[in-house]
Amino acid sequence: MALVFIGLGSNLGDGRVNLIEAWKQIGSQAQITPLSLSSPYQSEPVGMETQTWFTNAVGALETTLAPAELLKELLLVEKGMGRNRLSGKDRVIDLDILYYDDLILHSHDLDIPHPEMHKRLFVLAPLEELTPNHIHPVLQQSSRHMRLALQAHYEVSRMSW
């Protein structure tokens, strides 16, 4: 079983409800065992034209699916919840593989670890909540260290479910 961390985000509708629904759908897959879901965090959109704030979380799961198969399942959850990846930046749900064990993978469809995660406080804050000492296999920095490096530049607010 691979240990995987997934980033979840939403800025359309009730973000908390969307994240919980996506997490339930992910966990309903036969080859996926959900382990834990962070608190939700609210954040301002970064590098986007939209003004609608995001609700984000990180989930930890175990799976026997290969990375490409897991990505396919995540994209099906997104599509089933109404996400159209070709239309705009606003989204009901966005699901990203952050880590897949300590795998380093660069393919046409998938980069692991997620190539932008170390620049996104809305990913690092919930990731640190779940696994503060996890070491990024490329940058060789912990979740906590990466989060502290960004703390002064961005703001996120921890929410409750």
The CATH number given to whatever domain includes residue 43 is: 3.30.70.560
Q: Is the bond into 34 cis (omega within 30 degrees of 0)?
A: no
Active site residue 96: yes
pLDDT at position 156 is 80
> Residue 89: its pLDDT value, please?
72
**What is the pLDDT tens value at each position of the chain, 161 positions in all?**
999 999 999 999 999 999 999 999 999 999 999 999 999 999 877 666 767 889 999 999 999 999 999 999 999 999 999 887 777 678 899 999 999 999 999 999 999 999 999 999 999 999 999 999 999 999 999 999 999 988 766 678 888 88
Question: Strand, coil or helix: what is 20?
Answer: helix
pTM over 0.75? The answer is yes
End-to-end CA distance of the chain: 28
Whether 147 is catalytic: no
Which residue is catalytic, options 16, 90, 91, 147? 91
Buried (b) or exposed (e) across 26-49, using 16+ Cβ within 10 A? beebeebebeebbbbbbbebeeee
Q: Is 120 a catalytic residue?
A: no
Select which of 14, 85, 90, 96 is catalytic.
96
- Residue 101: count other Cβ atoms within 10 Å of its Cβ: 12
- Helices 121-130 and 143-150 pack at an angle, to 10 degrees, of 150
Catalytic residue among 16, 83, 102, 158: 83
Residue 45, pLDDT score? 76
Rounded CA separation 123/7 (Å)? 7
- Between CA 7 and CA 109 the distance in angstroms is 17
Cβ neighbours of residue 4 under 8 Å, at least 6 residues apart? 60, 61, 62, 63, 70, 97, 99, 100, 101
User: How many structural domains comprise the chain?
Assistant: 1
Q: Which domain holds residue 44?
A: 2-158
Q: Is residue 91 annotated as a catalytic residue, yes or no?
A: yes
